[in-house]
Chains A and B, each alone.
Chain A
Amino acid sequence: TQLLEQSPQFLSIQEGENLTVYCNSSSVFSSLQWYRQEPGEGPVLLVTVVTGGEVKKLKRLTFQFGDARKDSSLHITAAQPGDTGLYLCAGGGHNNDMRFGAGTRLTVKP
C-alpha cells in the first residue's frame, strides 16, 4: 500500500467543468505538496500546504489541507485544456524522504 492514496486515478471532463481530486493518508504530515507533470517532463511544484485547514488558491486551482493534516484536495474551477496533466501529491516519509501518490491523470477536452 502506498503512503498517499490519490483518487480518482483517471478523470476526463469537458472544458468549463469543475473537478476535485483527492489525496488521502492514514499518516499525519507536516506539509503536503501538489505537483503537475506533463508528458516527457519531470513534475513541477504547484503548491505546498502546511497548516491544518489551510486553503491556498492559484488562479482557478484551490488546494485544501485537511484539519488533521492527513489529507488534501485540489479543486479546479472551469477546467481548460491546458490543465491536462498528471497531478501528484507528495509528503514526507519516515526519514524526511519525499513520497508521492500514484497521481490523477486529468484530461480536459475542448
Chain B
Amino acid sequence: NAGVTQTPKFQVLKTGQSMTLQCAQDMNHEYMSWYRQDPGMGLRLIHYSVGAGITDQGEVPNGYNVSRSTTEDFPLRLLSAAPSQTSVYFCASSSQGADTEAFFGQGTRLTVV
C-alpha cells in the first residue's frame, strides 16, 4: 500500500526556473494539501483541495499554483523559483479534512540558488 507518494525527493533549482512537485495518493481521499516546513515555523499550508476540480489557498499561497484534475493527483507548481522558496515540501491527504487523520508523503527538499 503506497499511501502518499511525492516526487522528487530532492531538487535544486536556479532562481527564476519553474518546476512541478508531484503528489499522488491511492487511498481514494477527497482532501489533499501541500505544506512547506521551515525551521521554527512548523508546517504552513500552501494550498489545499477538498475534491477533484476544487482548490483553495492556504496561509502562504504566493508563488505557487495547484490543480486537482483527478482524486489521486495534486501537483504543486512553482512558477518562478525564488530563494525564499527553499524549504521542505510535504503533501498530505485525508478522508474528510481537519478532523480526520492526515497521511503525509516523505517530503521534497527543494533548494533554490
Contacts and interface: CB of A to CB of B under 8 A. Distances in A.
B98 A96 contact: yes
Contacts of A92: 97-99
B contact residues, range: 20 to 34
Contact of B106 (A42, A98, A99): A42
A42 B42 contact: no
A102 B41 contact: yes
Contact of A101 (B42, B59, B97): B42
A30 B35 CA distance: 22
Given A42-B105, A43-B104, A103 B42 contact: yes
Contacts of A33: 101-102
A66 to B, nearest CB: 17
B35 A100 contact: yes
B48 interface: yes
A95 B54 CA distance: 13
Contacts of B40: 9, 102
B56 A100 contact: no
A93 B42 contact: no
A99 B101 contact: no
A97 B45 contact: yes
A82 interface: no
A99 B59 CA distance: 9
Interface of B: 4, 31, 33, 35, 40-45, 48, 50, 56, 58-59, 90, 92, 94, 97-99, 101-102, 104-107
Interface of A: 2, 6, 9, 30-31, 33, 35, 40-45, 48, 50, 88, 90-93, 95-103
Given A31-B98, A88-B42, A96-B98, 13 more contacts: A9-B40, A33-B102, A42-B92, A43-B104, A91-B98, A92-B98, A93-B98, A96-B97, A96-B99, A97-B97, A98-B33, A98-B94, A100-B44
